[in-house]
Structure 1
Amino acid sequence: MSRVRLNIFIEPDHARRLDELAAMKGLSKSSIIAAALASFLSPDAADRRDAAFAKRLDRLSNQFDKLERDQTILIETLALYVRYFLTVSAPVPEAQQEAARAQGRLRFQQFIEQLGRNLMRGRSLVKEVHEEVFPDAGQFFAMDDPAAPGSGVPDEERLA
């Protein structure tokens, strides 16, 4: 079978990566390019690319659904807390309002500082409290485990 010689121009980065791959695999650059071209031109190449995109989009969709669920939980938690706080808080008498504002500013500053410390440490207060309450529960926040509850994997797939 005869072969056709082509002179092509490629980006310097692609040329470097091709050289590295050829050296690492012990193959000629021509054979690597021929295999890549055959894969690109094959009739099912588009289907494979579409399947890869669909798989990635499914993962992104699952991650988005989890973020949306978490945001809904956060908003509901905040709303319930605000309603509870406003229900149980007694009004401050007029004579004590300035002192209450000063105390509020101080408490808010302390809150912001604590929030900053937690964020800098990379620890979650919710996770810490959960570990204190349920020390033997294992990983509640198993983000790296795709089969963990809340990981975006549907229950029927996780439980199968």
Structure 2
Amino acid sequence: MTRARLNIFIEPEHAKRLDQIAAHKGVSKSAVIAAALASFLSPDGEDQREAAIAKRLDQLSRQFDRLERDQNVLIETVALYVRYFLTVSIPVPEGQQEAARAQGRARYVQFIEQLARQIQRGRSLVREVHEDIGPAAADPTQADAQSGTDADAMEVPREPA
């Protein structure tokens, strides 16, 4: 099979990238250009590109769905905590407010330390929640019925001495 010789001009960045790909694959620059041109001119080339784009969009959609799910868990967690806190906390008498603030600062420091440990271990509360829910996560009506926490598995902050 004879091949036609072409003299082409390409951008310097493309020439550099062509050199890198040819060296990496261990083939000639002509082979890389021939494969790229065959792919571009192939009648199935458009279908392949469309399939690749559709696959990537599906991956992005799944990632977005997971982010949305995790965000909803976080929003509901904060909302539930705020409701609980506002329901059970009693007003602090004026004479004890400074001591309450000091205790609050100490609790905050303890919270940040516990959060850092959780992150350093690579554990995710959101992931744990989804594992606890299991298959019910797919059905929101069952998720409400099976919701609850495992208090034994959570680290409970202790009062500073």
TM-score relative to the length of structure 2: 0.68
Compared CA separation, residues 20 and 66, structure 1 to 2 (3 A):
closer
Once residues 121 and 82 of structure 2 are traced to their aligned partners in structure 1, the CA distance between those partners, rounded to angstroms, is: 27
Once residues 48 and 112 of structure 1 are traced to their aligned partners in structure 2, the CA distance between those partners, rounded to angstroms, is: 49
User: 2:131 matched to which residue of 1?
Assistant: 140
User: 1:157 matched to which residue of 2?
Assistant: none
Equivalent residue of 1:140, what SS? Answer: helix
User: 1:55 matched to which residue of 2?
Assistant: 55
TM-score relative to the length of structure 1: 0.68
Once residues 6 and 119 of structure 2 are traced to their aligned partners in structure 1, the CA distance between those partners, rounded to angstroms, is: 56
Q: Percent identity?
A: 65
Once residues 42 and 103 of structure 1 are traced to their aligned partners in structure 2, the CA distance between those partners, rounded to angstroms, is: 71
What stretches of structure 1 of length at least 5 have no aligned partner? 131-138, 142-147, 153-160
RMSD between aligned residues: 3.0
Equivalent residue of 1:5, what SS? Answer: coil
Contact 2:18/2:32, CA 8 A, preserved across alignment: no
User: 2:146 matched to which residue of 1?
Assistant: none
Once residues 93 and 49 of structure 2 are traced to their aligned partners in structure 1, the CA distance between those partners, rounded to angstroms, is: 68
- 2:11 is aligned with 1:20: no
User: 2:71 matched to which residue of 1?
Assistant: 71
Displacement of 1:121 after TM fit?
A: 2.8
Question: Superposed, which structure 2 residues align to 1:2-41 within 5 Å?
Answer: 2-8=2-8, 9=10, 10-23=14-27, 29-41=29-41
What stretches of structure 2 of length at least 5 have no aligned partner? 139-161
Once residues 84 and 20 of structure 1 are traced to their aligned partners in structure 2, the CA distance between those partners, rounded to angstroms, is: 60
Count the aligned residue pairs: 133
Displacement of 1:119 after TM fit?
A: 1.6
Displacement of 1:61 after TM fit?
A: 0.8
